[in-house]
């Protein structure tokens, strides 16, 4: 099996007439913009999409109140020299009346982590990504490491469906205190914002534990949960999984993805880190 790292290196080679694509749901922040800037450096043409995809929101999720500011988004993109097109389809264009076709990855990777608490979410993600790729026809698509499960699932979908689009996974952009940038951070009250970095700090603690030789995934998960509970946040999940298949692992060996999701107040935040060992 080709490792994602190998596929990413291949996708990152600059060749003539390469179209790069950055799919977003708008309300852009520096994380999105860093993806766009990377695409501009590596590609001859760059397309950015802005579309809040209703198909990936559950009935009790925040689709209606998801932050939107199209004018601001366009202004930010205009400042980046090299963006050739901003694609802003409407919901009616993407899902016209009578729409009934969806594309999903039918294995366990869509049912764990965020897939467990957000059933149907990744079916909406893979469907919209396929539709966007059909419209843009990019050579490379740029995704953020913060949404690693999404990136792994999209990569699987592209491979299974014989798309020629490569996936480039870029580092997570963070605030100075470590909080991963997210459009949903705007929901946080000042007090909640002060609490939110505990998620990243707990992952840093896990990295330190692994560096000191801890290999038992259950011990690392227990310590992350302990640290999170100290801040009285609600834990959705903390898991140690294979970074390529998302299968749960009991012992860290080689590479492992430590992923977590919490609620700070009513705001759901996700983050992850990859542990690499010489075992």
Residues forming the active site = 32
Nearest to 20 by CA among 43, 38, 37, 41: 43
Both tokens of residue 89? 């389809």
The dihedral sign for the CA sequence 233, 234, 236, 237:
positive
CA pair distance 88, 79, nearest whole angstrom: 18
Residues 157, 159, 162: CA angle, nearest 5 degrees: 105
CA pair distance 56, 53, nearest whole angstrom: 6
Helix, coil or strand: residue 101: coil
Nearest to 24 by CA among 170, 161, 215, 162: 170
DSSP bridge pairs for 269: 262
> Do the beta carbons of residue 245 and residue 226 sit within 8 Å?
no
Q: Strand 166-170 to strand 140-144: parallel, antiparallel, or no bridges (unpaired)?
A: parallel
Q: Is 236 exposed, middle or buried (0-12, 13-18, 19+ CB in 10 A)?
A: middle
């Amino acid at each position: 099996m080709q490792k994602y790292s190998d596929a990413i290196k291949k996708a990152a080679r600059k060749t003539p007439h390469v179209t790069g694509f950055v799919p977003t749901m708008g309300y852009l922040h520096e994380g999105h913009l860093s993806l766009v800037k990377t695409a501009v450096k590596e590609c001859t043409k760059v397309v950015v999409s802005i579309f809040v995809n209703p198909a990936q929101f559950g009935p009790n999720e925040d689709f209606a109140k998801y932050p939107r500011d199209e004018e601001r988004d366009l202004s930010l993109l205009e400042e980046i020299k090299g963006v050739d097109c901003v694609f802003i389809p409407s919901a009616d264009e993407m899902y016209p009346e009578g729409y009934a076709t969806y594309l999903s990855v039918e294995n366990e990777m869509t049912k764990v982590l965020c897939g467990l608490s957000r059933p149907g979410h990744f079916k909406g993600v893979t469907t919209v990504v396929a539709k966007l790729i059909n419209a843009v026809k990019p050579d490379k698509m740029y995704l953020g490491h913060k949404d690693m499960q999404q990136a792994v699932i999209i990569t699987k979908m592209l491979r299974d469906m014989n798309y020629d689009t490569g996936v480039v996974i870029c580092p997570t952009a963070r605030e100075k205190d470590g909080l991963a940038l997210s459009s949903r951070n705007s929901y946080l009250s000042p007090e909640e914002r002060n609490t939110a970095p505990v998620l990243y700090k707990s992952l840093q603690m896990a990295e330190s534990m692994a560096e000191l030789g801890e290999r038992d995934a259950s011990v690392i998960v227990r310590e992350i949960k302990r640290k999170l509970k100290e801040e009285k946040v609600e834990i959705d999940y903390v898991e140690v999984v294979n970074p390529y298949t998302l299968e749960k692992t009991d012992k860290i060996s080689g590479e492992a993805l430590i992923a977590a999701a919490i609620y700070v107040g009513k705001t759901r935040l996700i983050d992850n880190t990859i542990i690499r060992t010489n075992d």
